[in-house]
A = this chain, B = another copy of it.
């Protein structure tokens, strides 16, 4: 179970659990570290094993290495997204524990072991070409300590493939549906289940797909009420949202 960040401190003030002086000092001490080009945030619930995340795109290898170093000093679990082989090779030399997941384009370094959640996340794709985005979601959700399953290539043009897998749908507490092209799969899944559905449009397709716009608009306009949509190709974001839902469920279980 995770707990609230900044809020926690602010509430302690409120509840007089700490003096105002202590509070402000805590705030000042709030765990981020200034390394010039980046303010490394150590507040991502280290004790709970939630990983520190580095979004690699637009950063130099030197910057990524520098941020990683600071995080390793805190003994955090580390998840680097949109990474490539070069970055991996660079980090692997210094941190032998580093692993690369090429389809997901993710590097992970595990310093702390986590218990798996009892609740379950299911990652579904419409087609084979959507798999890289789905893998980004899968690896992220798994690395954050969730129990995750996959159901790939069950797009709406062949309904029997989906209907032949109702078991998996029925067992999940949160379902991430990854689809490009017309992005219809989340609507169909949303009509079959009652659990939260997270739609991830992908940029798979061509022409009037406009790099994922068609799938994005389809999901935002879904007639299956109550779907949450994330950015195009944002498998990581979907997993992060799913994880925050699972956290609430696990917390309730424990109480």
Tell me the residues in window 173-222 of chain A with beta carbons closer than 8 Å to chain B beta carbons. 173-174, 180-184, 187-188, 190-198, 201, 203-222
Tell me the bound Cα distance from A43 to B158 in angstroms.
Answer: 10
CB nearest to A13 among chain B residues: B24
CB nearest to A233 among chain B residues: B207
CB nearest to A218 among chain B residues: B182
A57 at the B interface (CB under 8 A): yes
Quick check: which of A32-40, A68-76, A83-91 contacts chain B, the rest being far away? A32-40
Task: Please determine whether B217 and A218 come into contact, CB atoms closer than 8 angstroms.
Answer: yes
Which chain B positions have C-beta within 8 A of A131?
37
**Nearest CB of B to A81, in Å:** 10
A114 at the B interface (CB under 8 A): no
Among A130, A170, A180, A253, the one with the most B-chain Cβ atoms within 10 Å of its Cβ is: A170
Give which listed residue, B128, B173, B223, B232, contacts A37 with CB less than 8 A: B128
Which chain B positions have C-beta within 8 A of A7?
166, 169-170, 192-193
Tell me the bound Cα distance from A155 to B182 in angstroms.
Answer: 15
CB nearest to A66 among chain B residues: B128
Q: A5-B194, A182-B223, A217-B214 are in contact. Are A231 and B248 (CB under 8 A)?
A: no
Among A23, A63, A170, A221, the one with the most B-chain Cβ atoms within 10 Å of its Cβ is: A221
Task: Please determine whether A192 and B5 come into contact, CB atoms closer than 8 angstroms.
Answer: yes
Task: Please determine whether B119 and A32 come into contact, CB atoms closer than 8 angstroms.
Answer: no
**Nearest CB of B to A36, in Å:** 8
Task: Please determine whether B184 and A188 come into contact, CB atoms closer than 8 angstroms.
Answer: yes
Task: Please determine whether B225 and A228 come into contact, CB atoms closer than 8 angstroms.
Answer: no
Task: Please determine whether B221 and A233 come into contact, CB atoms closer than 8 angstroms.
Answer: no
Which chain B positions have C-beta within 8 A of A30?
160, 164
Q: A39-B154, A170-B10, A220-B229 are in contact. Are A192 and B161 (CB under 8 A)?
A: no
Q: A32-B158, A192-B6 are in contact. Are A216 and B208 (CB under 8 A)?
A: yes
A-B contact pairs, 10 of them (CB 8 A): A7-B170, A38-B152, A53-B225, A157-B190, A181-B223, A183-B184, A184-B218, A208-B212, A208-B213, A217-B217
Report which A residues bind B (CB closer than 8 A). 2-8, 10-11, 13-14, 20-21, 23-24, 27-28, 30, 32, 36-39, 41, 43, 45, 53, 55, 57-59, 63, 67, 119, 126-131, 152-161, 163-164, 166-167, 169-170, 173-174, 180-184, 187-188, 190-198, 201, 203-234, 236-237, 239-245, 247-253, 255
